[in-house]
Amino acid sequence: MKDSSQLFSSNLDSYFIAQLNSGTCRDPFAYLGIHSIDSGVVIRTFLPEAISVTVIDQNANPIQKMIKIDDDSVFIAEIMGKKADLSYRLLVEYTHATIDIEDPYRFQSHITDVDSWLLSEGTHIRPYEKLGAHLVTHNDVGGIHFTLWAPNARRVSVVGDFNFWDGRRHPMRFHPNTGIWDIFIPNAHKNTLYKYEILDHNGQLRLKSDPYAFSAQFRPDTASVASGLPAIVEPDETRRKANASDQPISIYEVHLGSWRRNLENNYWLNYREIADELIPYVKDMGFTHIELLPISEFPFDGSWGYQPTGIYAPTSRFGSPDDLRFLISKAHEAGINVILDWVVGHFPTDEHGLGYFDGTHLYEHADPKEGYHQDWNTLIFNYGRNEVHNYLSGNALYWVERFGIDALRVDAVASMIYRDYSRAEGQWIPNQYGGRENLEALAFLRKTNTMLKKEGMGSITIAEESTSFPGVTHPVDHHGLAFDYKWNMGWMNDTLRYMQTDPIYRKYHHNLMTFGMVYQYSEKFMLPLSHDEVVHGKGSLIEKMPGDRWQKFANLRAYYGYMWGYPGKKLLFMGNEFAQKREWDYEKSLDWFLLSEDSNSDWHKGMLSWVKDLNHLYTQTPALHELDYSPEGFEWLVVDDADQSVFAFERKAKNGQCIIVVSNFTPNPRENYRIGVSQHSLYKEILNSDSMYYMGSNVGNFGYINCDEIPSHNRPYSLNLTLPPLSTIFIIRE
């Protein structure tokens, strides 16, 4: 065995020793680990604070003691007659312990040439299978493979519990053709805490969470957790069919942190506790889908999840990724699909997050006119960069494939597709053609939606798009964005404005309730009464309604009836189903006490029963959902009676079955109100918002209604109806 002076090469060793000790080594695999030489192999290791190191075989038999060749940390052994595939370990003596370890620098990269090509091109369908922290067995040794994209960094190290958070100990391998860094840490265990220490482009040290982390610490701690890639959730034809445009879709929108809380300490329920309470409730209420406000990891509770720092990590507030999978599985077992509110329009500026990731504007645009969102103090993704596009589109498939999410509701689409969104003249940069559209964001949305239609196992996407951008739900080959549904923000704003108006003045705003039909078939619309309508001083839905208590509840019941009868899938935010009086507060449970056994609870119980009955009627009546997006499925019967604020329309099923919906939005009952019908038959009132069961005045038609051979409204027959005050009634033809 040679002594240290013979093993020391001033040109090679001094160069790497200086870099390793200073934490600036960009290419550690070129020096550390095992390398072939003429006489055999040379093994080098960097182990700060080690006293001695011995190379041992897989049976712990000593092969050769290593020589320390600097004053601190580098040990070297030249072993005669061995090859570079030698399987060895290191026996390391410290002051208080001797440890048998694997050498991370003897393991090869798991990044293949194909991976490199696809990741650089931005076409890797499942980038999360390569990037991030993966629990693997490498050369029969278990551990974690860490992989990160940071092309402009000078050096990247993985740090964590396994190396005392010392960035000198595990500098990573750099792939210059892709900008990817990787390393395998043998014997690192599941749920290991870790981050990436980055010597950035400017020589500054940054400590970053993993963009592809599958789990993260509970705030305010920000380490990533190596929980492992979740298993694939198998697709199901029933769930796939439930998303179709001819099926009933009634969505219950939920914020998991405030739907219900622990009564003793006002603390959150965990995913499993929520599953036990939420799923039976939603099933009983007749909702078909649950939409979860964002559950990707986020630092600030007050953002409700809309400023995520880890889009691959379910928030740890409510438990582990497996706990979330349990919640989703329980929903599926009950026949309920799950929608995830998906935020890919912006991200927060927190130091541990994506901003200025490797000392450059890697994920965001450099120019704040493109990269900074003034409304939310957040950064805007650079959708034109292949790796950023891949990071986001891969995340869509990740939630579908690995958690069983059935649909993604894409937040703030308008802010993504317009460069001048919420910006004054001179504060935005036009696209290459001088226009205001964000062409890169449009391309990202089209590609992601197209990919999901091919790979997403029947999952769908829903756009929260607040403008009249054309073709949001049209196919890409028709110049559309290929979303499956779009929130009808215009309908929501118009109808809420009408309902907030005192009934005596509603006749002057009659068109607010009918205008939506002018553009009804331009997109596949959902009708949302979401969380956005009950926050930021807007008050609750029940408090928006005019009049005394009786009128407020009657107005809201009538409005819900009109909404459930009108074409388009439905969405209702939690608490609105029982008319919570106060504005939603993310720090408190819903006011379930309003349903307790006191004299005032009957009003709220009545509303709850009304929504429940609406849902069950809706799901069981094909005429109310089969032809939502076809003009053949809807016909106005009374559209111009502004003076009496009455609306009547007929909904039709594919087989010709029909149901008539009539609303009276004044507190005056209308007796002998005649509406024309096309077919002579026996009709029956089957649902009435003014029923005593819902705390109404119990005015109505009480069952069967005779059809008269009296022409009306350009139809040969007519019904003579009693219209209850502030009501919506549903009538079927027997």
Q: Catalytic residues, which ones?
A: 411, 464
Q: Is 569 helix (H, G, I), strand (E, B) or coil?
A: strand
Distance CA 453, CA 241 (A): 14
Q: What is the DSSP string of 170-223?
A: -BPEEETTTTEEEEEEET--TTEEEEEEEE-TTS-EEEE--TT-S-BPPTT---
Name the CA dihedral angle for 588, 592, 597, 599, rounded to a multiple of 10 degrees.
80
CA distance 470 to 481: 9
Yes or no: say if 728 and 562 are a contact pair by the CB < 8 Å rule. Answer: yes
| β-pairing verdict for 141-149 and 74-80 | unpaired
Q: Distances in Å between the alpha carbon of 34 and those of 29, 37, 48, 53, 186?
A: 9, 10, 19, 15, 16
**Alpha carbons 135 and 81: distance in angstroms, whole number:** 34
| Cα distance between residue 293 and residue 251, in whole Å | 12
Residues 592, 422: Cα–Cα separation, whole Å: 38
With tokens 């003691």, the residue in question is 65
Helix/strand/coil for 464? coil
**Secondary structure E strands in 530-587:** 569-573
Neighbours of 125 (CB within 10 A): 15
Report d(CA 701, CA 682) in Å as an integer: 13
Which residues have C-beta within 8 Å of that of residue 732, sequence separation ≥ 6?
621, 658, 659, 660, 683, 684, 686
Q: Tokens for 496, please give them.
A: 């809420």
Closest CA to 336 of 467, 477, 242: 242
Which residues fall within 8 angstroms of residue 639, CB to CB, at 6 or more apart?
514, 647, 649
Contact 147, 180 (CB under 8 A): yes
DSSP 43: E
Helix (H) or strand (E) holding 18: helix 12-22
Task: At 640, list the tokens.
Answer: 């111009």
Q: How far apart are CA 128 and CA 149, in angstroms?
A: 12
d(CA 503, CA 546): 8
C-alpha–C-alpha distance, residues 97 and 93, integer Å: 6
Q: Which amino acid makes up residue 346?
A: H
First to last CA, the chain: 100
Buried b (16+ CB within 10 A) or exposed e, 186-200: bebeeebbbbbbbbb
Q: 3-state DSSP call for residue 142?
A: strand
Query: How many residues in total does the chain contain?
Result: 734
